[in-house]
Amino acid sequence: MRREPLRGDRVVLRPLEHEHLPRCVSWFNDPEVTRFLARETPLTMEQEERWYKDYRAKVDEEIYAIEVEGRHIGNIGLHSIDRTNRKANVGIVIGEKECWSKGFGGDAMRTALRYAFGTVGLHKVNLDVIEYNARALHMYEKCGFVREGVRRDELLKRERYVNLIRMSILEGEFARVERERLVSPAARRQAGTGTSRPR
């Protein structure tokens, strides 16, 4: 199915195409990036192309390239989309490290959640995060995700078992966070509808 790009405040989420793959391969071979991901082993372009061919045939997975002013800086995806129970998992990576902590990940996540709860019609979105990934935890909580529990020793990362934090957000929770964001002074300023002058 042909999908349209999703527009955030600063990012555009464009359906992942073959042209995006070489950049994905370089990110998934960067230890500073994979430190925060479930995957660790080296990845070749051939493996990525095989994965992409399988991905194109799937109906329960949608991956988007995160673009900022036309530059591909990362990916975000809905995985295991379950239309019966109206739930999915979300995963995000910003592979261009100088783009970390500039608000792009949060914008991409909110854009993906608007799509997931709006267009796809989901009720719940889940994710797992390695417990030492403080930046991701902060961003997810700011987007409205709540902690469900700990999956103990779930991954073997560089010869050490690590816990995963299971988080989720429900459609009503996201709607509340969006409403609160829209009425906050910072959000009004960002949208160009606020005033910086004192009354």
Ligand X SMILES: CC(C)(COP(=O)(O)OP(=O)(O)OC[C@H]1O[C@@H](n2cnc3c(N)ncnc32)[C@H](O)[C@@H]1OP(=O)(O)O)[C@@H](O)C(=O)NCCC(=O)NCCS
Q: Which residues bind ligand X (CB under 6 A)?
A: 33, 36-37, 74, 92-94, 100-106, 129, 133-136, 138-139, 142
Nearer of residues 35 and 50 to ligand X, judged by Cβ? 35
Which contacts of 179-186 are long-range, i.e. CB under 8 A and separated by 24 or more positions? none
In this structure, the number of other CB atoms found within 10 A of the CB of residue 22 comes to: 11
CB of 123 to ligand X, least distance (A): 21
CB of 79 to ligand X, least distance (A): 12
Paired tokens of 4: 């349209």
Nearer of residues 138 and 147 to ligand X, judged by Cβ? 138
Please give the C-alpha separations between residue 83 and each of 106, 121, 154, in angstroms, as whole numbers.
25, 8, 27
* Pairing of the two strands 12-15 and 62-68: antiparallel
Q: Looking at 63-169, list the stretches that DSSP marks H as alpha helix, in order from N- to C-terminal side.
A: 104-117, 134-143
CB of 142 to ligand X, least distance (A): 6
The C-alpha angle with vertex 26 and arms to 25 and 29, in degrees rounded to 5, equals: 85
CB of 76 to ligand X, least distance (A): 8
CB of 12 to ligand X, least distance (A): 15
Nearer of residues 32 and 50 to ligand X, judged by Cβ? 32
Strands in 12-15's sheet, in edge-to-edge order, are 6-7, 12-15, 62-68, 71-82, 87-94, 124-130, 160-170, 146-157
